[in-house]
Structure 1
Amino acid sequence: MKPAHKLLFVLCPMLVLGFIYYSSGKLHLHVWGQKPLFDNQGFLLNLDTRLPPELVYKYGNLSEGACKPGYAAAKMSAIYPKYEQISLLTGVFVSSLCSFLLSLSTERIIDVILSATKNYGLGPDLDSLSCKRCIIVGNGGILSNKSLGSRIDDYDVVIRLNEAPVSGYTRDVGTKTTLRITYPEGAIQKTESYEKDSLFVFSAFKPLDFKWLRQMVFKEKLQGTEGFWKSVAHSVPRQPSEIRILNPYFIQEAAFQFIGLPQNNGLMGKGNIPTLGTVAITMALHNCDEVAVAGFGYDMNTPHAPLHYYETVKMSAIKEVTQFFRSRCFNA
Structure 2
Amino acid sequence: MNLMKFRWILLFVIVLLVFWYNYMTKLAGSGGDVKSSLSLPGYVRITPGKMDQFLDIHNKQCALVSSSGQMLNAGLGKEIDKADFVIRMNNAPTQGFERDVGNKTSLRVVSHTTVPWLLKNEIHYFQQSASTIYVIWGPENKMRQDGKGPIFNALMKVAKKYPNVKLYAVTRKKIQDCDNIFQNETGKNRMQSGAFLSTGFFTMILAMDICDNIQVYGMINDSYCGQVKHKRVPYHYYEKSWIDECRMYNAHEKARHGGHRFITEKAIYARWASQKHVYFKNPSWAL
Same fold flag (TM > 0.5): yes
Q: Contact conserved, 2:136 with 2:170, CA < 8 A, in 1? A: yes
Which residue, 289, 296, 302 being the options, matches 2:219?
Answer: 296
Match of 1:216 in 2: 155
**Selected match of 1:139 from 67, 78, 89:** 67
- Distance in 1 (alpha carbons) for counterparts of 2:86 and 2:188: 31
Tell me the TM-score normalized by structure 1: 0.49
Aligned equivalents of 2:65 and 2:248: distance in 1? 24
Paired amino acid for 2:247: I
Which residue number corresponds to residue 242 of structure 1? Answer: 166
- 8 Å Cα contact 2:39-2:54 kept in structure 1: no
Identity %: 23
Query: Where in structure 1 are there 5+ consecutive unaligned residues?
Result: 1-88, 97-109, 220-234, 327-332
Where does structure 2 lack aligned partners over 5 or more consecutive residues?
A: 1-37, 256-287
Give the drift of 1:206.
2.8
Task: Note the alpha carbon deviations across 1:144-190, whole angstroms, 9 max, x for none.
Answer: 10111111112222111112111111111111111111122123343
AA matched with 2:40: G
1:183 alignment partner in structure 2: 111
The one-letter amino acid paired with 1:215 is: A
Structure 2 residue 204 is the aligned partner of structure 1 residue 278: no
How big is the shift at 1:289? 0.9
Aligned equivalents of 2:78, 2:168: Cα separation in 1: 27
Matched residue type, 1:141: G
Aligned length: 199
RMSD over equivalenced CA pairs, Å: 3.8
What is residue 186 of structure 2 aligned with on the other side?
Answer: 260
Contact 1:161 1:180 survives alignment (8 Å): yes
Cα-to-partner distance string for 1:283-316 (whole Å, 9 max, x where unaligned): 2212211112112228644575322211112527
Alpha-carbon separation, structure 2, partners of 1:158 and 1:146? 17
- Superposition deviation, residue 269 in structure 1: 7.0
The secondary structure found in structure 1 opposite 2:43 is coil
Q: Deviations over 1:60-116 (max 9, x none)?
A: xxxxxxxxxxxxxxxxxxxxxxxxxxxxx77165349xxxxxxxxxxxxx8xx5735
After TM superposition, list the pairs within 5 Å mapping 1:8-47 onto structure 2. Answer: none
- Higher Cα Rg, which structure: 1
Q: Which amino acid aligns with 1:208?
A: K
Q: Which has the higher strand share?
A: 2
1:140 Cα deviation (Å)?
A: 0.6
Please state whether the residue corresponding to 2:208 is helix, strand or coil: helix
SS at match of 1:185: coil
Q: How does 1:15-94 map to 2 (within 5 A)?
A: 91=40, 93-94=42-43
Partner of 1:200: 134
Q: Give the aligned partner of residue 307 of structure 1.
A: 235
Please give the secondary structure, in 2, of the residue aligned with 1:132: strand
